Amino acid sequence: AQSVTQPDIHITVSEGASLELRCNYSYGATPYLFWYVQSPGQGLQLLLKYFSGDTLVQGIKGFEAEFKRSQSSFNLRKPSVHWSDAAEYFCAVVVFSGGYNKLIFGAGTRLAVHP
Amino acid sequence: GAGVSQSPSNKVTEKGKDVELRCDPISGHTALYWYRQSLGQGLEFLIYFQGNSAPDKSGLPSDRFSAERTGGSVSTLTIQRTQQEDSAVYLCASSLDKREYNEQFFGPGTRLTVL
């Protein structure tokens, strides 16, 4: 069955430090992968997506992610975290079945940023 | 332009009452999705509409849940005889069409609390 695993439920980093959020997926076909961010009381905002081509994708707010097929991973990175990055981050894979697609989400990683 | 809007933003109801949650998708988006975000289950897919049709209702948690979409635009998610386990944030998303590479744009959600 298709699934997304985010091993880290909660991560705390200091402002200015680098960040890597882990995501592993299970999907039989070529995956379409997304990272979303959710700030408190807000909906989900797309950070970046991977469909094909270059395995290193750039997103908004200085985030990037690297697709590694051999590891079934799509980890999110940022070289220098800002206090405003504190939020919950969700990795998702599109599953196309029955003539339509839906997003399967990981459990999310809550990021706290210390000043 | 306007994004996806949802109303109400918060709903508190008593166990056993019926509730209606509304979603206004982005104009021109033919695909519409409902997801539920709860502490125990994370983000889970509920139902998808292409135009006014919902080809698959198997994601709805029980037969107390129903959804409709009219005019290819507004959608309503109805929960009858609400239970405490229905307490969650209900998110609506829309995309240009059903193709898997189309971004799903999310609304801010409706937080439902069943007392």
Per-residue pLDDT at A90 exceeds 90:
yes
Count of domains in chain B? 1
Q: How does residue A30 score in pLDDT terms, banded at 50, 70 and 90?
A: confident
Domain CATH for B28: 2.60.40.10
**And the tokens for A100?**
């339509």
Q: What share of chain B is helix, strand, coil (3-state, %, to 5)?
A: 5, 50, 50
Q: What is the spatial distance between Cα A96 and Cα B23, in angstroms, rounded to a whole number?
A: 23
pLDDT of B25-37, one tens digit each? Answer: 999 999 999 999 9
Nearest CA in chain B to A40: B108
Q: How does residue B99 score in pLDDT terms, banded at 50, 70 and 90?
A: confident
pLDDT of A54-82, one tens digit each? Answer: 899 999 999 999 999 999 999 999 999 99
Q: Do B60 and B67 contact (CB within 8 A), yes or no?
A: yes
**CATH superfamily label, A3-114:** Immunoglobulins (2.60.40.10)
pLDDT at residue number B48: 92
Write out chain A residues lying below 8 Å of B45, CB-based.
102-104
B residues 51-110 near A, CB within 8 Å?
55-56, 59, 91, 93, 98-101, 103-109
Domain ranges of chain A: 3-114
Q: Do A40 and A103 contact (CB within 8 A), yes or no?
A: no
Q: Do A94 and A102 contact (CB within 8 A), yes or no?
A: yes
Look up the domain containing B105 and give its range. Answer: 5-114
A36 interface with B at CB cutoff 8 Å: yes
